[in-house]
Amino acid sequence: MSAPSLNAALLLLADSRLPAGGHGHSGGAEAAIAAGTVRDLPTLAAFLRGRLATSGLVSACLAAAACALSAPAAGSGTASAPAGDDAGERGMPSPAARGRAAAGVAGGLLGGWTELDAEADARTASPAQREASRVQGRLLLRTARRIWPSPVLDGLAEAVPEGAHHPIALGAAAGAAGCAPEEAALAAAYTSVTGPATAAVRLLGLDPVAVHRLLADLAPDLERTASTATAAVTPGLEQTVSTVIAPGLERAATAPSAHTADSPPPSPAPTASAWAELPAHSAPALDLLAERHLRAGLRLFVS
């Protein structure tokens, strides 16, 4: 198609210099280094590969789902035209139309955010990891709302006042920045390994070029993870559009100012969540490391 196939905002979102607090998180690497299980390039490579295959994949799925929910392209259609069909495509409307669509869909989305956030909670057994994820999500959303102001991001902050999980904030920010779900998934997969890699460079004094070589070797896995995540999200998106967003849009249409502090977000649908089937790969060692890190007397990173 003729639409641009790449979005430069993706580079900003994935850049470790994005001022969103990411530099303070090692994704379990500091605890693994303290435990001696990550100590050199081969053990770091294994750590990164395992992290990507588990929490990286789950993060990519949540980010893709959040991006699909938030992308004005997904919401600008009417309730009768589910957006699932173009979930993986771009085709952005004009900025003005985006603004109108975003404002309209923001109210309809509140239930969608709550539901997706609950799915992230259910996939994060470790309280330390949940807290780290929410702190990062809160900081990212704070930053993103200033860089890419959008009613959709305001709505996410409102729906999850304690701080949305990081991949959800990342996906929503990607959507607000005009990225496609697969790009959001790629950014999530990428940051799931770059954070620990950078931390290992600092803590172990590894050759930064050698570590970047490891990351380069992971590039095909990152791409595969992103496309797996995008494919996994499509059925859930169709369901959430019909069960959560469309009714929300109808409410917003009948009561234009319904999106206020006085109208609490609708509670999640009592039926099975749209995102129930998303991957839920667990990494028991990361859970144990996250909890051990929290109790360490000496730590440089938040997580």
Question: Could you say which residues in the range 23-52 bind other proteins, by CB under 8 A?
Answer: 23-26, 28, 32, 35, 37-38, 43, 46-51
The yes or no reply on residue 125 touching other proteins (CB under 8 A) is yes
Query: Which of 62, 39, 107 has the alpha carbon at shortest distance from 246?
Result: 107
The tokens for 247 are: 């009714």
Establish if 284 lies at the interface with other proteins (CB under 8 A). Answer: yes
3-class SS at 302?
Answer: coil
Least Cα distance to 211 among 196, 226, 189, 191 occurs for 196
Q: Which of 243, 235, 195, 151 is nearest to 59 (CA)?
A: 195
d(CA 156, CA 143): 13
Q: Applying CB under 8 A, which of residues 10, 20, 152, 177 lies at the interface with other proteins?
A: 20
Which of 27, 15, 26 shows the shortest CA–CA distance to 143?
15
Q: Which of 59, 76, 126, 191 binds other proteins (CB under 8 A)?
A: 126
Structure tokens at 24: 């303070």
x/- map, 208-247, other proteins, by CB under 8 A: ----------------------------------------
User: Segment 127-166, which members bind other proteins (CB under 8 A)?
Assistant: 127-128, 130-131, 134-135, 138-140, 142-143, 145-146, 149, 154-155, 157-158, 161-163
* Binding positions for other proteins, 242-281, rule CB under 8 A: 260-262, 268, 270-273, 276, 279-281
Of 92 and 198, CB closest to other proteins: 198
Residue numbers 71-110 binding other proteins by CB under 8 A:
none
